[in-house]
Amino acid sequence: MAERAERLNWACPELSDEPGIEIRRGRHPVVEAVREDPFEPNDTVLTPDRRMLVITGPNMGGKSTYMRQTCLIVLLASIGSFVPASSARIGPIDRMFTRIGSGDDLAAGQSTFMVEMSETANILHNATAHSLVLMDEVGRGTSTYDGLALAHASAVQLATVNRAYTLFATHYFELTALAQELEGVANVHLDAVEHGEELVFLHAVKDGPADRSFGLAVAALAGVPRPVIQAARAKLASLEARRDQEQAANGLSKPRASTPLRRRRISSRCSTARPRRSMRSRPLIRMR
């Protein structure tokens, strides 16, 4: 660990009796090691008054990497290691829980969604005000409204009952309203821009909700046939037009997710693909 800390420019963390997590210019040690391009460092600040970050942004934009690097930095600090960050102050943490990735357990008769809900249930029953919780896209394994309702209720439970330090990544833009409705909830996002037919991921964590998800752009990047993407764009336009008509009839404003994305300075950084293997929601570490 000492050799790695010196060679990789890791910093000595501060273990504090004051509650909260403050990481400056944190990095994911594994992703940074395998990338040829420079890794984009980011801050993570969780305090008693800022306990939950609702994280939005495109697929492959770096949400899972950001969440996992926070967990790894806390874990490394807790075992006495230096950490991949310019500085880190870690308050008392009793457990770390993760609900990341997707996977089934056919031998046990559990579908992907059942595994997801089992992990979520474990977190909601056991996380405390001194726990660090990672929740990645809860509710995606069922219908849109069921999934949104479950994600919303889980986020509210974590913010108001468990009061755990929580990183909650989601594509449900409706959850960004929790920052105005609940104390201790804030919005952050990882952004991307479209440059012609290309999608460029910026990887920098910024305050506020994302403008859009770029789902079709990511599908095109993955090689989905152009006719399918064109048909999807047409269907998306139809769905959004119908939604806007319904909202106009009810006197509701247009949601932020549909606002045009303003052009920004293009970055040449590549994206970080999300690992596909599921991480179970068992506590990674328990400290006395």
More confident residue, 160 or 244: 160
182 pLDDT tier (thresholds 50, 70, 90): very high
pLDDT of 23 higher than 60: yes
How many helices and strands in the chain, by DSSP H and E? Answer: 8, 10
Helices (H), 193-282: 215-221, 226-249
Given a cut of 90, is residue 149 above it in pLDDT? yes
Return the pLDDT at 244. 85
Distance of alpha carbon 276 from alpha carbon 265, whole angstroms: 30
Q: What is the rounded CA–CA span in Å between residue 194 and residue 15?
A: 42
Please report the pLDDT score of residue 68 as a whole number.
Answer: 95
Mean pLDDT on 91-106: 88
pLDDT for position 126: 97
DSSP β-bridge partners for residue 55: 169, 188
Burial (Cβ within 10 Å: 0-12, 13-18, ≥19) of residue 145: exposed
pLDDT value at residue 197: 67
Both tokens of 148, joined, read: 């949104």
Q: Give domain limits for the chain.
A: 2-212, 214-260
Average pLDDT over residues 77-94: 96
Quote the pLDDT of residue 252: 62
Give me the helix-helix angle, 144-157 and 112-126, nearest 10°. 20
- For 34, the token pair is 């395998």
Burial group, residue 19, by CB count within 10 angstroms (0-12, 13-18, 19+)? middle
**What is the Cα–Cα distance from 31 to 19, expressed in whole angstroms?**
28
pTM for this prediction: 0.82
Split at pLDDT 50, 70, 90, the class of 269 is very low
pLDDT recorded at residue 206:
93
35-68 tens-digit pLDDT = 888 899 999 999 999 999 999 998 888 899 999 9
Contact by Cβ (8 Å): 14, 89: yes
Q: 74 pLDDT exceeds 80? A: yes
Name the average pLDDT for the chain: 85
Would you state the pLDDT for residue 253? 56
Whole-number pLDDT of residue 93: 97
- The Cα 199–Cα 197 span in angstroms is 7
* Confidence grade of residue 139 (pLDDT, cut at 50, 70, 90): confident
CA–CA separation, 89 vs 45, rounded Å?
10
Asked if the model's pLDDT at residue 240 lies above 50, the reply is yes
pLDDT higher than threshold 80 for residue 277: no
The residue-averaged pLDDT of 260-281 equals: 38
Mean pLDDT of 62-91: 96
Give CA–CA dist 270/34, Å, rounded: 13
Tokens standing for residue 220 = 């095109």
pLDDT tier, 218 (very low <50, low <70, confident <90, very high otherwise)? confident
CATH number of 2-212: 3.40.50.300
Residues 6+ apart with CB under 8 A from 38: 269
CB atoms within 10 A of CB 271: 19
Distance CA 87, CA 11 (A): 6
